[in-house]
Amino acid sequence: MKKILLYSFLLTLFFGVVSCDKETEDISRVTTYAAITYEGDAVVYVEKGGSFTPSATSSGGEDVTITESVDVNKPGFYNVSYSATNVDGFDAVVDQLVIVYEEDDVLAGVYDGIREGKNGGIVLIYSNGDGTYSCSDLIGGYYQFGKGYGAKYASPTSKMEITGNIITADPGAATPWGSWDLSNGVKNGNVLTWKTTLIDDGFGFNVQLTKKSF
């Protein structure tokens, strides 16, 4: 009796496995995502008035769709997105950062910014054409790049001035925590320093910008 029950169990298990194999036949397969290669580096610097032409290829010969809105006549940070879809309908996307900058002998240029004692990121300063300047982030890129929180955590100002070696600026645009102010701004060669303060609660820290050379 025990042998009969054992045989019955094994037959049931066998047919169950066969049944599962038939039900799942041809459902699972391996797909290869498109590998996209773009021209240039992950971060591309373009001087104002220069040129930039995005270009990329896909490893499987898939068509590459390019999404971008780079304005080479306006300093700023621009994201270029490259995407491709493989034969199974799966998408692959890679991004490239294009930085359009202006440079002069006064303030305009690309700077490596830091919150003193910590990290930071790229900061742009460029001319407004009336003797004043715009700055992309009074916080030295600390939250936007250093912490990786993104552009909404930068505090740009559209009016920065320099008299002798003293830097002043209007308060920066509001971040999720509020607007930031600049004080004690000084230029020493290619290095700029100031204190930035969160206007709403007085929290602040020292910022240092070092001009990059190209």
Token duo for residue 155: 């505090």
Q: Which helix (H) or strand (E) holds 133?
A: strand 133-135
Q: Choose one of 78, 100, 122: the last residue of a domain.
A: 100
145 and 200 share one domain: yes
pLDDT in the model for residue 89:
86
In Å, what is the CA distance from 46 to each residue of 13, 40, 41, 140?
67, 12, 12, 21
Please check whether residues 169 and 202 belong to one and the same domain: yes
pLDDT at 33: 77
Question: In this structure, what CATH number is given to the domain that contains residue 108?
Answer: 2.40.128
Q: Are residues 114 and 145 in the same domain?
A: yes
Q: How confident is the model at residue 214 (pLDDT cuts 50, 70, 90)?
A: confident
- What's the CA angle centered on 212, arms 209 and 214, to 5 degrees? 165
Residue 116 sits in the same domain as residue 197: yes
The domain containing residue 164 runs over which residues?
Answer: 103-211
When divided into structural domains, the chain yields a total of 2
Q: What is the pLDDT of residues 125-150, one digit of tens each?
A: 999 999 999 999 999 999 999 999 99
Of all residues in the chain, what percent carry a pLDDT higher than 90? 78
